[in-house]
Amino acid sequence: MIETDVATITEMLKGFALGFGLDLLGAVLILIVGWWVAGRAAALVRHSLKSTKFVDATLKPLASSIVRYVILIFVIVAVLSNFGVETTSIIAVLGAAGLAIGLALQGTLSNIAAGVMILILRPLKIDEFIEAGSISGTVVEITLFTTLLKTPDGVFISAPNSQIWNSAIKNYSRNPTRRLDIKVGISYDDDVDAALEFLKNLVASDERVLKDPEPMSFVATLGESSVDLTARGWVATSEFWPTFFDLTRKSKTELEAAGFSIPFPQRDLHVIESAETASTAKSIAKPAGKPAAKTAAKKPATSSRSTASKTATKTTAAKKPPASKS
């Protein structure tokens, strides 16, 4: 009887192990194949969208990520169903877990929502230079959670989407043209009208400066040591910085070659001395040299007076009559 029970239990264990082993092996195979398929599908979507022109470059990495995560979710459901877990219970558990995770990760979910809004409204795109709050740089990629940027000096920035979305975004690359201001100061002795005309022609002579709107020049401010002039023109956004650097250099060299002077920061002080100020200064200055002379003159007088008083004392003592003898 006992041998029969042992044999029965052994057969049951063998059947369970064989069935569980097959299920485990099938789950592992499904997981490996699903992971590989998810990666290949994401790469295929990324490669296919790379050559298309009607899809914005900002959406391409996001689309490949969405495809990969969707396939992985189906793979996990298939693995669990392979072990006999009902999908309805899985969906219920995932719903409850999603609610709890959503309450715990409000900041992360806000980044997802901000990323979706950025992709829909598109205030920024890849390869555009933006400034959002204290962050500035060229957009490299926009993911579900973060926006990746690169600063002009090559620094990598990963900013949360919510921080970008909740700030005022300045997009320096969106408009096709930008205004260019060249500022320079001349001396007060120079001819202002001639300098304004020369500076305007200097900016207009550059081929990169647009003819419409027409370049102009004007007096910006009257500084402490110079008359500050500004020449203004419009250039293509891609040519802004090269044009700015060239015209800034030429405004210095060619203005000086034309006879205009660019003064250093300086300040002229004019001291006005009134009659009362002069008399007060003299009265203060006089006692400074006299006390020594007076002291030197008084010292001999003091010694002579003391000598005279001693002599008078001696004379009085000598003239005093002797005491009468009794």
- Is 149 in a helix, a strand, or coil? strand
- The tokens of 140 are what? 């490299």
Residue 317: is its pLDDT beyond 70? no
**What residues contact 254, with CB distance under 8 A and at least 6 apart?**
198, 202
* CA pair distance 228, 181, nearest whole angstrom: 12
* % of the chain residues with pLDDT over 70: 69
Residue 322: is its pLDDT beyond 60? no
Neighbours of 7 (CB within 10 A): 10
Residue 225: pLDDT band by 50, 70, 90 thresholds? confident
162 phi/psi in degrees, rounded to 5: -65, -35
- The tokens of 30 are what? 């499904």
**Highest mean pLDDT: which of 48-62, 189-203, 255-269?**
189-203
- DSSP H or E stretch at residue 307: helix 290-319
Mean pLDDT of 153-182: 94
Residue 286: is its pLDDT beyond 80? no
- pTM for this structure? 0.57
Residue 292: is its pLDDT beyond 60? no
Q: What pLDDT is stored for residue 302 in this prediction? A: 44
- Is 262 in a helix, a strand, or coil? coil
* CA pair distance 79, 29, nearest whole angstrom: 9
Contact 234, 170 (CB under 8 A): no
Q: What pLDDT is stored for residue 77 in this prediction? A: 77
Mean pLDDT of 12-31: 67
Residue 166: is its pLDDT beyond 80? yes
Least confident of 107-111, 162-166, 181-185: 107-111
Residue 19: pLDDT band by 50, 70, 90 thresholds? low
Q: What pLDDT is stored for residue 104 in this prediction? A: 63
Write out pLDDT tens, residues 66-114.
788 888 888 887 777 766 666 666 667 777 777 776 666 667 778 888 8
Q: What pLDDT is stored for residue 4 in this prediction? A: 59
* CA pair distance 176, 186, nearest whole angstrom: 33
- The count of C-alpha atoms lying within 13 angstroms of the C-alpha of 234, restricted to the half-sphere facing its C-beta, is 9
Least confident of 212-216, 217-221, 302-306: 302-306
Q: What integer best gives the mean pLDDT of the chain?
A: 78
Residue 16: is its pLDDT beyond 90? no
Q: What pLDDT is stored for residue 202 in this prediction? A: 94
Q: What pLDDT is stored for residue 21 in this prediction? A: 64
* CA pair distance 69, 112, nearest whole angstrom: 14
Q: What pLDDT is stored for residue 294 in this prediction? A: 46
Q: What pLDDT is stored for residue 84 in this prediction? A: 65
Mean pLDDT of 222-248: 94
Q: What pLDDT is stored for residue 190 in this prediction? A: 93
Question: Distance between alpha carbon 117 and the CA centroid of its chain, in Å?
Answer: 24
